[in-house]
A and B are shown apart, each in its own frame.
Chain A
């Protein structure tokens, strides 16, 4: 290594130092600590922890509580991601027209981005509340679905997860809408016009131009939405509290790790174990999504 290279290396190290410091303090250290905590058991009251061995990861993975939570989480993902993606694409395609007043609708569709999970969940709580909520005051709906009034969509173990999913889909719609709208606007108009001159109708233009050229955006959105759904917490904390019990029908992995009134109580060691397991599952899933769909995604020229 000559002197100039060494000098460059010194400069580079100096430039990298701030981000390395931030990364270490806020990502690497907490992650390492969580991994370490994950093999400990802690007293909920005294907060005294002691090692229980690395086998704890396997024990938790095999426990029925974790597996039930994982099933609930996967159901939640399957309920929210496809519907959210579909609705986002539909709204974005509808709003991607140069007509008067479309800006108003774009703003409305985007607005959920600026709505926090807490606000969104409270809104849905008022909407779904079984005695004074909005839905319960629509007689024909109640006649069709008595569960709305008794015990309530969020209070019935069969519908609670779907109701929470609806709130989550709504809250994430703005995000998908903005991404897909940006994706649509990056598709060259020439492609549509060329297909139009060649005789392709609206549906064919959608399947032959829009969808393939949106595929990178769709892949990205689906990865982000999936990981968001896996980490969803606020909805369950505010809407269902992990219940209804005793089925724990909305206790997801995240809720199991962080929520109150779960079977693991206040054991910080077990909570860390679950958090790390979730991290690994998400890592594998995202990699699989990129590998599986990546080949079929068209990134253009």
Chain B
């Protein structure tokens, strides 16, 4: 058990800045999610915690120890890879035991600890099989078992669910949260999937282009996005950003979530309906403002007063659900 501190981390690959001066404190036992689109530097950041990459500048601390110069094995971290990285020639049991074997744990202790880990992840029936004979979900659990068998201080997970189908991903999400609560160990979890971030993280760190955009609980990040990037990255469909002066007077961009827009007979902003999307549980009305900006309005599935394609409608935004952003920096501006 240990906290993880990233202090002013910068990582350059040649002239490319993959991670730009990022500082994050992960508390002991916290489930920290690094969220962002591909190429935003979140995986690089995780790999620096695990010791697979060296930061160009800045410090990585695990607990109170600076680990920049330590090998991965000296850092007491375990990593779960997107591909699971199981050894195809070893049985499930040998895969799980591998980290212990490397550490010179005796055969009997190895078998016992592997059995415990396998039990926790319901793999007991598969110990003698090879990874090629397992389903995607089972392989993923073997990778988890191999990580937990060492009882590391920190778990690093690099998109561990993205190779699973949608149904299994949902189930495994819940299992991972349960596992975290049971182990009470620090998790650092990288994903590009906002649903995973929202449902699993104690806190979310949102990154874009190597820069940390915002860090906070899922509720904070959703309710008070710090930048237009966070506002439009989280939420399905994403937050609408109205150009300055369109929804209300002033020089600020105005962000409104689709559920906080209403279609009125008059007043508000004039827009043309482009598309009405029927999703079953809800309806998305896609409109275009006069300058071409797309705006999405969320309507309940049983709405029987829907506009048609090509209709001109008036959009009104809830007064207390407006987010203001600086048009130059994209930063949140709180007016009150």
Contact = CB atoms under 8 A, between A and B. Distances in A.
Interface of A: 188, 190-191, 193-200, 204, 208-209, 212-213, 215, 298, 300-301
Contacts of B50: 197
A197 B77 contact: yes
B89 A213 contact: yes
B33 to A, nearest CB: 20
A7 B51 CA distance: 64
B93 to A, nearest CB: 15
B102 interface: yes
A196 B156 CA distance: 14
Contacts of B77: 197
B178 interface: no
Interface in B75-92: 77-79, 81-83, 85, 87-89
Contact of B52 (A193, A213, A298): A193
* Chain A interface SS verdict (over half): helix
Interface in B90-145: 98-99, 102-103, 131-132
B72 A204 contact: no
Given A197-B72, A198-B98, A208-B98, A298 B103 contact: no
Contacts of A188: 83, 85
Interface string B64-80: 00000000110001110
A300 B52 contact: no
A216 to B, nearest CB: 11
Interface residues of B, number: 23
Q: Name the residue in A199, A204, A208, A209 with the highest tally of chain B Cβ atoms < 10 Å from its Cβ.
A: A199
Nearest to A196: B72
A300 B79 CA distance: 22
B278 to A, nearest CB: 40
A193 B81 CA distance: 9
Contacts of A209: 87
Contacts of A196: 52, 72-73
A132 to B, nearest CB: 52
A213 to B, nearest CB: 7
A199 B103 contact: yes
B83 A190 contact: yes
A5 to B, nearest CB: 37
A198 B82 CA distance: 16
25 contacts: A188-B85, A190-B83, A191-B85, A191-B87, A193-B81, A194-B85, A195-B102, A196-B52, A196-B72, A197-B72, A197-B78, A197-B79, A198-B73, A198-B78, A199-B73, A199-B102, A204-B102, A208-B87, A212-B87, A212-B88, A215-B89, A298-B88, A300-B88, A301-B88, A301-B131
Given A188-B83, A301-B131, A198 B102 contact: yes
Contacts of B87: 191, 208-209, 212
A200 B132 CA distance: 23
A197 B72 CA distance: 5
Nearest to B102: A199
Given A190-B83, A191-B87, 14 more contacts: A188-B85, A191-B85, A193-B52, A193-B79, A194-B85, A195-B98, A195-B102, A196-B73, A198-B98, A198-B99, A199-B72, A199-B103, A208-B98, A213-B89
A198 B103 CA distance: 9
Contacts of B85: 188, 190-191, 193-194
A259 B308 CA distance: 90
Contacts of B102: 195, 198-200, 204
Nearest to A296: B89
A213 B78 contact: no
A213 B86 CA distance: 12
A213 B88 contact: yes
A256 to B, nearest CB: 42
Nearest to B149: A198
Contacts of B72: 196-197, 199
Contacts of A190: 81-83, 85
Contact of A212 (B52, B89, B103): B89
Interface in B160-175: none
B98 to A, nearest CB: 6
Nearest to B72: A197
A212 B132 CA distance: 15
A198 B81 CA distance: 12
Nearest to A212: B89
A11 B70 CA distance: 67
B305 to A, nearest CB: 53
B132 A301 contact: yes
A300 B89 CA distance: 7
A13 to B, nearest CB: 38
A197 B78 CA distance: 7
Which 8 residue pairs across A and B have the least CB separation, nearest first? A199-B73, A194-B85, A298-B89, A190-B85, A198-B99, A212-B89, A301-B132, A197-B72
A215 B82 CA distance: 25
Nearest to A204: B102
Interface in B6-64: 50-52
Contact of A199 (B88, B99, B132): B99
Contacts of A212: 87-89
Contacts of B83: 188, 190
Contacts of B78: 197-198
Contact of A194 (B81, B103, B131): B81
Contacts of B82: 190
A298 B89 CA distance: 6
Contacts of A191: 85, 87
A112 B52 CA distance: 37
Contacts of A204: 102
A214 to B, nearest CB: 11
Nearest to B81: A190
Contacts of B88: 212-213, 298, 300-301
